[in-house]
Structure 1
Amino acid sequence: MMDVDASLTLLGGFGLVQSLNFLVYLLCSGSSGWLLTGVSFTIGEPDGYRCSLPPINGTGVGDTVFAEECELIHEDEEAGKNVTTGCLYGWDYDSIHGETSSVTDLELVCDRAILAGTLTSIHFGGALAGSYVLGQLSDLFGRRLIVFGSVIAVVVTGTGLSFTWSFGLMCFLRFLNGCCIPGLLTVSYVRQIEMFTPNRRVRAQLCSEMAWVIGICLLSPMAYLLPNWRDFQLTISLLCIPLIPLVWFSFESIRWLVLKGRVEEAEEILQRIAKSKNISHTGYFLLDQQDPDLQNGNQPSKVDAIELETKPALENEGSNPEKPPLEDQDSVPAVDDSKRQSPGSKTNKATILDLFKTRALIMQTLFVFFCWFASSVVYYGFFINAGNLVGNKYLNFFLISLTEAPCYIINYFVMTRLGRRRPLIFYYLVSGVACVVTGVIPAETADGTDLTVVILVIALIGKLFASAAFDVLYLATAEIFPTILRSAAVGAASVVSRAGGMVAPFIVYLNVIHNSIPMIVFGVVSLVAGLLVLPLPETNNRALPETLDDGAKLTSKEPTEDDASPAEV
């Protein structure tokens, strides 16, 4: 089994080839931001609407007709009574900047208003399905191929959306478009992280998060400049076209190639990187995990003078690192080739059902799942509800997006000093209180004082801490569950998160009852999540649990000498 971290260490810092490849996948992360949250504008509600008045002399009922949101009131002066009908002649929509959306084009208002929330929910439902399916496919066929296919599919389905006028076809394309977005978001994120050695992965994550922030911040000015939602949808789809050749000419994940036994291809990539940095040597870059330097964490002082001969007999054995040299085959028992395992295979693979084996594990799993659900509901709910907040919806969306940048930078230092559990509790509680306060504060006081700025500032505080909580939750989840269950736990939590994104539009739909309800619901959900973090263990400076017994040790208040991180022992 090859050790990619040791090989990357030999190459030193990032050179031009690595930087360009990293930039390609950062662009994928950034574009996924506007593709996923763009529904805030393409399926956004108009500023106001009312029934269209009938044409002159076309009523046949009376002389005066009043138009309300969902009713026409015909005043019959002769009979002395009013006759109420539905919006027989369509609707007139108010828009400050002349914007349109799927709601106005398909008239998803009044008794059809829930269809707008359904359309948004289908979009996030597609993202849910894509998160699972594309994640599995990327393990089978590689990161680069799945990202490449996802970019093409996003362009095709997004372009189709901008031309369709059928609600059924729009639902279908919305689902397909949502399915493809995780290819640019999740799979490209994995591809980015796999490029780095452990001591640089936190910085890589910060770069990826900044790319996401830049993407969603660009969304608001693009929507303002393109008020027609079809032009906007077409633009954000076609802007992904340059990613197609960029991804195609990028290199595959070295870790994935090694995992699949395609070590010669991985070696070629490492050689290409070395050549771009003027590094030369007479051996191989790929190191076996039994190499003493690797085990001791040492880095050779002079790369040019190294003779790397720990790669197992590639010239004689092809791409199978487990096969012994020819001269030693007589002393090795014959093994049935059908029973050989790839370097990354495991005999025991945990499933989502293993998360519910013990009572303690069940409670821990359910608490973590609810936190993921709450984070997703509040996070995406803020974007969808941005148009319903007081003030300019474009400015609101931009400011809500911009708040994520400082939260990720602050978290970089907070998690190092204060751990995971205490910041997570604090973030959820502050976000919950801010959401509730935002919902209950009136737009103006009894004496006419405008509270628009106050409401917007408190809402931004709620979004800031909701984003910070989501960021910490990602890392905490990976650290809480033992290695045997970690992959299943994070994958299941991601699916629960997407379910939260599907529920968020229906919570926002509650503003038809009262515009304060969505923010109050978001606040309550966030407060409950904060309370559920209390029983969870602190994972800072604790070794990653490998077995179920190791996971049980995390419930202790302080790390012991046995379970402390190796760096702390």
Structure 2
Amino acid sequence: MATNSGRKALNQEEEYGLSAAAAPRLTKENSARVDVDDVWHYLGRYGRYQVINILLLAFSVWPQSVSILSGVFVGMSVNHRCHNDEAASLQLSDYSNGSEIIMGECTAQVVVNTSSGPRVDQETKCSKFQYDSDVPTSFLAEWDLVCGSETLGQLPQMLTMLGMMVGAVTLPPVGDRFGRKTLGLASHFCHLLVSVGLAYVPAFEFFLLLKFLSGAFNQGFMVTQFIMLMELLPTELRTFMSLLATMLWVFSVLSLVPFAYLFMGYNWRTLQLAYGLISLSSIALLCMDESLRWLLVNRKVKRASRLLKKACRHNGKSYETLLKRVLREDVAATNGENHHPLLQNNYTNKEGVIGVGRDVGDETAKINPSFRDVLRSNTMRNISFIVTYSWMVSSLTYYGITLLSTSLAGDPYLNFLIGGLLEIPSTICMFICLSRFGRKTVAIGFTGAAGVSLLAAVLVATLAAKTYSLSLVQTALTLFGKFCISASFNTMWLYTPELYPTNLRNVGTGMSSMGARLAASASPFFSILARKAIWAPGALFSAACFLCVFLLSFLPETKFRELPSTIAEVEAWYVHDRQAKKSKNGSLTIPGQFTKVIQAPDNDDGDDIDEDKDGGGQDKDFK
């Protein structure tokens, strides 16, 4: 009996990796407590494994702008006039020899020359049109979506945004459930089929349907692969990751121009086919691994172990040493050292990153939360409302600024290129600000600046027609507004995933993206409003920005904090930040548990926080 008991104890030690003689093992019981940031630090922040996966991910997201912006070129406005056949409906013989038929863009007119000047005596709306080119270079020309049908020409873009909204809600939860890579591959494959299919649709109705599906599948891989990129880097590099993701977006947008210029004068279907084939770049995703953080949180131990062994092999590190490093806190927790069911072994490392140990056994720290848990938590519910509203305001303000801006003269391809290049200085400025200030501060600053700029542009717009100098001021304010709202939007792409635990990160980001797409799909209504009152859209957007600034002030700061794995961690942040406003020492107090004082993150020597242990059920003070 004693022998059997001894063997059983030994087996338990080996299972949890606690035996000093035996090598540590990754198990379902300890996998969710692995500090992923510690894994990346040991492997090297810019290790060969991470660099390879980042390059593969960067190549695979190339088609992210295709479904959103390809309509700018495949649906480009075309010069047109009434077809000559329309002249048959006009009885020119009833008029004198001085009369003539003039074919306009939308109407055919009989103009009679009189002593007092030309007079339009007869006019008819055209049902057939002819264009500058015999080849339909735009789907507007193929289906005659001009004049009275021009509003139908805006439906593809609207349905694309609505599709993105639906995809943002329905597809990201699939990634949380079945894996980031699985959803990314499936969405890329479907996006490829739909994008190529758009080049062969026989009717406009089918074109609309496929545009909707294209937008939906776009969100399936766009949101998911952004999350994969975030989870591939340690906490202190998330700002760099945001810069990288934005630059990838800019590259994707700018790459549309060479294709459009190369196929200028060709049938629009040829250009659409070329855009669709860009999705073949998704083959790079086949060579990537699943997100390590997702594997560990969902206790996919075998796959996580294979991934870690592969990463160690690529980076020249020891797998056994890695496990000893990342599992050492579990040994202390099992022995009863510094163990707490909500927050365990908190520390500040050299980079100023606040680490939070986790215990999956606590009831409030569920490893597999559902969206119902978000609704049940007041903190998560408030966060979800604020970030979704912020995304909606960013989207509305962006299109509002575009609406109120003066159009650039010159070649449309060059104009599109300039608009894309404007994103680069905006991104660099955002990166500099994020490196010095918190996410919340940067989001508030850029959103507020965009609101002020847009309000000023609207005020100037009412006077711009009087002087040329005022019109230049309006243009400058508009470009500055676009600069600011672009930076604000990119900041929210970084900020939002940091506010959600691992198994709700896709859902939370997708829900915010859904709000943005819903707002974007409503933009045509504001153009109608602008024709009635030019000041109204700008005033509404500016007011929305100022309200957004107020609401953002209630969010917790995420800079220098690891990505949360549980809702309880986010709630602890919220409590800490609220109490930090009331207390100069920034202490985190959980009633009946313990108090933690966080070392300022700008401590140059990076010393860990010392721990003073108290006996019994007394609180613990960390200094």
Question: TM-score normalised to the size of structure 1?
Answer: 0.76
Q: Which amino acid letter does the alignment assign opposite residue 290 of structure 1? A: D
What's the C-alpha RMSD, in Å, of the aligned pairs? 4.3
Q: What's the offset of the Cα at 1:490?
A: 4.6
Structure 1 range deviating more: 125-134 or 272-281: 272-281
Q: Which amino acid letter does the alignment assign opposite residue 172 of structure 2? A: G
Matched, 1:290 2:330: yes
C-alpha spacing 1:464/1:67, structure 2 compared with 1 (3 Å)? same
- 1:494-533 equivalences in 2 (<5 Å): 494-508=513-527, 513=531, 517=534, 521=537, 524-533=540-549
Aligned mates of 1:60, 1:521 — CA distance in 2: 46
Aligned mates of 1:91, 1:438 — CA distance in 2: 40
Correspondent of 2:61 among 29, 34, 40: 29
C-alpha spacing 1:477/1:263, structure 2 compared with 1 (3 Å)? closer
Structure 1: gaps (5+ residues)? 300-320, 323-339
Q: What's the offset of the Cα at 1:411?
A: 1.8
Aligned mates of 1:436, 1:470 — CA distance in 2: 21
Q: What's the offset of the Cα at 1:82?
A: 2.4
Partner of 2:103: 67
- 1:93-108 equivalences in 2 (<5 Å): 100-108=137-145
Q: What's the offset of the Cα at 1:401?
A: 1.4
Matched, 1:379 2:411: no
Partner of 1:429: 451
Correspondent of 1:392 among 411, 428, 453: 411
Partner of 1:407: 426
Partner of 1:316: none
| 2:448–2:549 Cα contact (<8 Å) kept | no
| 1:121–1:502 Cα contact (<8 Å) kept | yes
Aligned mates of 1:221, 1:430 — CA distance in 2: 36
Q: Which amino acid letter does the alignment assign opposite residue 274 of structure 2? A: T
Q: What's the offset of the Cα at 1:103?
A: 1.9
Partner of 1:333: none
C-alpha spacing 1:452/1:393, structure 2 compared with 1 (3 Å)? farther
Q: Which amino acid letter does the alignment assign opposite residue 562 of structure 1? A: S
Structure 1 range deviating more: 394-403 or 412-421: 412-421
- 1:99-248 equivalences in 2 (<5 Å): 100-227=137-264, 228=266, 229-244=268-283, 246-248=284-286
Correspondent of 2:77 among 7, 26, 45: 45
Q: What's the offset of the Cα at 1:258?
A: 1.9
Partner of 1:252: 290
Partner of 2:128: 89
Matched, 1:566 2:598: yes
Aligned mates of 1:109, 1:260 — CA distance in 2: 53
C-alpha spacing 1:283/1:374, structure 2 compared with 1 (3 Å)? closer
Structure 2: gaps (5+ residues)? 1-29, 94-98, 334-343, 350-359, 589-595, 601-622
SS of the equivalent of 2:482 reads: helix
String of CA shifts for 1:269-293, please: whole Å, max 9, x gaps. 1111211222235466384452559
Partner of 2:315: 277
String of CA shifts for 1:93-132, please: whole Å, max 9, x gaps. 699xx98322222222222222122221101111111112
Q: What's the offset of the Cα at 1:60?
A: 4.0
String of CA shifts for 1:311-331, please: whole Å, max 9, x gaps. xxxxxxxxxx99xxxxxxxxx
Partner of 1:16: 48
SS of the equivalent of 1:534 reads: helix
| 1:122–1:174 Cα contact (<8 Å) kept | yes
Q: Which amino acid letter does the alignment assign opposite residue 11 of structure 1? A: L
SS of the equivalent of 1:50 reads: strand
Partner of 2:614: none
C-alpha spacing 1:368/1:220, structure 2 compared with 1 (3 Å)? same
| 2:239–2:434 Cα contact (<8 Å) kept | no
Q: What's the offset of the Cα at 1:168?
A: 0.7
| 1:128–1:499 Cα contact (<8 Å) kept | yes
String of CA shifts for 1:211-230, please: whole Å, max 9, x gaps. 11111122233323323432
SS of the equivalent of 2:121 reads: strand
String of CA shifts for 1:519-538, please: whole Å, max 9, x gaps. 97256414431244135337
C-alpha spacing 1:270/1:387, structure 2 compared with 1 (3 Å)? farther
String of CA shifts for 1:43-79, please: whole Å, max 9, x gaps. 3333x5433333776744546322333322234799x
Aligned mates of 1:190, 1:558 — CA distance in 2: 31
Aligned mates of 2:182, 2:514 — CA distance in 1: 22
SS of the equivalent of 1:73 reads: strand
C-alpha spacing 1:259/1:550, structure 2 compared with 1 (3 Å)? closer
Aligned mates of 2:307, 2:454 — CA distance in 1: 48
